[in-house]
Amino acid sequence: MKQFLFSLAVLFTISISGLVAQDNPCGVEGIVVEASSYQYAPSSLEIEAGQTVVWVNMGGFHDVNGVASSIGTTWNNPETFAFDAVNGSTMGTCIGFQTFTVEGTYDYDCAIGNHAEQGMVASVTVIAPPSNTVVDIIVNSEDHTLLEAAVGAAGLVDALNGDGPFTVFAPTDAAIVALTEVLEITAEELLALPNLGDILQYHVVAASAFSTDLTDGQMIGTLQGLDVTVTINMDGVFINEAMVTVADIAADNGVVHVIDAVLLPPAPVSNTVVDVIVNSEDHTVLEAAVLAADLAGALSAEGPFTVFAPTDAAFTALMEALEVSAEELLAFEGLTDVLLYHVVGAQALAADLSDGQEITTLLDQDVTITINGMGVFVNQAMVTVADIVADNGVVHVIDAVLLPELDENLPETVVDIIVASEVHTLLEAAVVAAGLVDALSGEGPFTVFAPTDDAIVALTEALSITAEELLALPNLGEILQYHVVAADAFAEDLSDGQLLTTLLGQDVTVSISDAGVMINDAMVIVADLEAENGVVHVIDAVLLPPASNLDEVQVQLECTVYPNPLVGGVLNVQGNWAMGAQFTITDLQGRMVAQSILQSNQIQWDASGLESGVYAITVAEGVQFETVQFVIR
């Protein structure tokens, strides 16, 4: 619309100035200014840079002076120009003509006699020609407001305002709205798409392609790099699936064709090492294994990767040797490690391989390359097809499955499991204190229900005793034996209501419900930690034998030690225990210093042989005990 109005203005100016083009005495195409009767008509003229002004004398003796004012007026003409005086005639006499290329205002007058003083002055204003690029056509169109916004959002305005030439297939607002409705997004979300620039460049050809240049079936390369297809039939002209509704809107730097749908570039064809495997008829088992091990995403990444790809026949041979089914193979817990042993984190083409070469796989174990007269081998597997290049690496087909050294060594004993666990430090200390290490390190089999540190701390808090006092209980061994069964009892072996006899000779009860598996009132939180001599189940509470309820384990003995601190000599100990109570002294590291059976409730003990430090006296009677610390200086 803006271009149309400007064109009307130029035509109107030309129409009032009289002669145009070569139909003037100067014989050149230009805008005519007539000189006559002490005036130039028009006296004020606006033209575009590159246009020509022709001066014609219609009567009298006149010139054109664009050098300096004849009456002293200040001029700032960008360039000077002047034409000598001629006599006019009713048919017009050519004074001269000037093509203006520099923008600005040019003043001039008639330097003959007092013509300028009589008002024979005028000016020419030169402006830049209006822009009419493919962008201007879009901007000035009422049907392309969204396309205009998209070109701006994608930062393509400057590029499409360039020299070109360009052909733009311009979807209307209605077409873009239809796309947003299909995608269930807003126009704002469409303009924020990260690939908006690619979509728009798929609408632009770096050449002028007018309708007369198009043919049915023609493929045209776009700025995005992919082709669009031209179809011409009785229904019209189509670019892919979009119809051209308005053709051949010419621009200074190309042409615009209006279309009724947005052109969407096809998704790039994926060709990763995973795609090579998926598209192979000989690798269905490998494909299933990659999916089962959840490695498809990782192997579709940037890479590069080298994959040694065993065929279905190779997997079938392995399954027959192992006497397992495909389902069992895919469920193998070491499947991921096996597959990673077939992948190198670099591109290794056949030309890169050498005899004796060792290549580290993603499993961090090496495979060995052997090249001889028989062919190329990876370990013992022959490469049957080499160098299937993918976007992110290369695939070599091999005729056997590569088997890594899998770490299947079980912990030797249930004690090893407890010792290696970060949540069983107190249980480890208890097993040591109760002298059960050797027994539980035996041949077995054993099933150990292993209370966590939190479970043991909870018991000490319930009993109002310290962990050290718990470890000093005389019946600690019995409590621990109540946690051990002299048989393998894996989770699959347990049933609801089952009774398991412990090493203590008393049973624990298995309860299985939706809440989980319980051993008495303790829940199994980790099951089936397997050792060579049994299995460990982690539980969240300490199991107490039926004879050891909380009331029985409560500290009830009274023990008094004096003098405290002791400076050499004899330590006095007295309390309310009966004859036969056990008397034990330990240092802070839990090492026993002395032990005896008490014959009375008051003793004197010679401590002169002990070094300075802190010690603990424990007096135990049945399940009752008392521990008191004392200091020797």
pLDDT for 587-616, tens place per residue?
766 678 888 888 888 888 888 888 887 777
Instruction: Encode 91-107: b = buried (16+ Cβ within 10 Å), e = exposed.
Output: ebbbbbbbebeeeeebb
pLDDT of amino acid 584: 83
In whole angstroms, what is the distance from residue 432 CA to residue 441 CA? 12
More confident residue, 550 or 574: 574
Residue 514: the pLDDT is 82
User: Per-residue pLDDT for 19 more than 60?
Assistant: no
Q: How many CB atoms lie within 10 A of CB 80?
A: 12
Percent of the chain with pLDDT over 70: 93
All structural domains of the chain, each given as residue ranges with its CATH number in brackets, are 2-127 (2.60.40.420), 134-259 (2.30.180.10), 273-398 (2.30.180.10), 414-551 (2.30.180.10), 555-632 (2.60.40.1930)
Q: By the 8 A CB rule, do 111 and 122 touch?
A: no
Q: Is residue 10 scored above 80 in pLDDT?
A: no
Instruction: Identify the CA nearest to 220 among candidates 186, 253, 191, 255.
Output: 255
122 vs 209: CA distance, rounded Å: 45
- Mean pLDDT lowest among 152-166, 218-232, 332-346, 619-633: 619-633
pTM of the shown model: 0.41
- Dihedrals phi, psi of 627, to nearest 5 degrees: -125, 130
CA distance 228 to 208: 15
pLDDT tens for each residue of 27-74: 999 999 999 989 999 999 999 999 999 999 999 999 999 999 999 999
From 405, 406, 384, select the one nearest 308 (Cα to Cα). Answer: 384
For residue 134, give every residue at least 6 positions away whose Cβ sits within 8 Å of its Cβ, in sequence order, or none: 160, 164, 166, 168, 251, 253, 254, 255, 256
pLDDT, tens digit (0-9, with 9 covering 90-100), for 255-312: 999 999 999 998 777 889 999 999 999 999 999 999 999 999 999 998 899 999 999 9
Residue 356 Cα distances to 346, 367, 482, angstroms: 18, 10, 58
Question: Per-residue confidence at 473, pLDDT binned at 50, 70, 90?
Answer: confident
Q: Is 335 helix (H, G, I), strand (E, B) or coil?
A: helix
pLDDT digits (tens, 9 = 90+) for 420-454: 999 999 999 999 998 899 989 998 899 999 999 99
Phi first, then psi: what are they for 527, rounded to 5°? -115, 160
Please report, for the chain, how many H helices and E strands are present, in that order: 20, 37
State the Cα–Cα distance between residues 323 and 316, nearest whole angstrom: 10
